[in-house]
Amino acid sequence: MTRTASATPVHPVAGPDSGAPTVLLVHGMSDTWQSWRHLAARLPRTWRLLAAELPWKAGTDHHWRRRGTPGAWLAATVEAMTAPPDIVVGHSLGANAVLEMLATETAVTPRGAMLIAPFYCPPDLPITWAVHERAQANFVRIIDEGLRNRLGPRLAGLDAATLASMRDIMVDRIGPVGFTALFDHFTATAGLPLHAVSVPTKVLTGGRDPSLDGPCAGALRAQLPDADIVFEPEFHHFCHLDRAVEVARHVTVFVEQVCPDPAIRGGKP
C-alpha cells in the first residue's frame, strides 16, 4: 500500500476568527506550533494568525518521512484549510517545507511566503563525508542554541557540564533518524525546481546561523533571483524568539508589501 502525506492540525494563535490577512506559521524540527506565540504577540492584532502542527514536531519518531516530504505534508495541510492562507511563514525545516511546496506543489499558491533561517544545498556542492560531518556539527550547535533559548533566565543557574548533558539528551531524543531526515532534505534542496516559485518570497537569515552560510545563501540567491534575501549579522537560528521585535518588523513590512489593499490589511488606509 502506498503511503502518502496527509493534512495535519492547524491552530489559531492570535487575531480574529476570520478575515485577512491570514498568515500560516510553520514550525521547525522538534519544535511546536506554540513556539510562534512570542512572535505573534508582536505582529498586528488585526491579522489572523494560524500555526500548523506538522509531523516533525517535538516528540515524534520521525517516521513521517516515509509518507512524504516536508513540502508534501505542508501542501496537504494547506489544501485542507477552509480558506487558504494569504501568506505562509516558516522557520528552519518549516521554511524549507514552504520552499519545497512553492517549487513542487504548483496548485498551492499563497500570495507570498517568508522563510526564516532556512537551509539550502548548492547544486554544485559534492556531498562528501566532510559535508556530512559539518552538517552534524551544525545540527548539535543549533540544538544547543535552541536549548539556551528555551531555558531563558534559568540558563544563568546552570554549569557547563549540566548544560552539555541536557543538550546531549535532546540530541539523543531526535536521534540519527531525525538528523538523517534533515540531512536528506538538505541534499534534496539542490534539486528543487526553484524556477517554478511564482509568488513573492522573502528569506531572512543571520550571520550567527550556520544553516545558511555565505556560499549557500549565494547559491540560493542565484537559483531564486526574484526573492528578497535579507542578511542580519547578529541573528541566530532562533531569531524569531530572541530577536522577535526585529523579525516581526521584517514580517510586517513583507506582508504589507504583498497585501497592500486595505481589505487585506484589516481596513487600514
72-100 pLDDT, tens digit each: 999 999 999 999 999 999 999 999 999 99
- pLDDT for the residue 106: 85
State how far the Cα of 37 lies from the Cα of 262, in Å rounded to an integer: 25
Quote the CA–CA distance of 215 and 195 in Å, as a whole number.
19
| DSSP H or E segment with residue 202 | strand 201-206
pTM of the complete model: 0.92
Count other C-beta atoms under 10 Å from residue 51's C-beta.
25
pLDDT at 111: 95
* Cα separation, 194 vs 197, whole angstroms: 5
For cell 524540527, the residue is: 29
Neighbours of 248 (CB within 10 A): 18
Residues with Cβ within 8 Å of 132's Cβ and at least 6 positions away in sequence, in order, are: 183
Locate cell 513583507: which residue? 254
Minimum mean pLDDT range among 70-84, 167-181, 183-197, 241-255: 167-181
With cut-offs at 50, 70 and 90, classify the pLDDT of residue 202: very high
At 233, give phi and psi (nearest 5°).
-55, -35
Average pLDDT, the chain: 91
Q: Among residues 82, 111, 101, which one has the least CA distance to residue 26?
A: 101
Q: Cell 491570514: give the residue.
A: 22
What are the φ and ψ backbone dihedral angles of 136, each rounded to 5 degrees?
-70, -40
Whether 173 shows a pLDDT value over 50: the answer reads yes
Among all chains, which residue has been given the C-alpha cell 502542527? Answer: 53
CA distance 88 to 106: 15
pLDDT tier at 264, thresholds 50, 70, 90: low
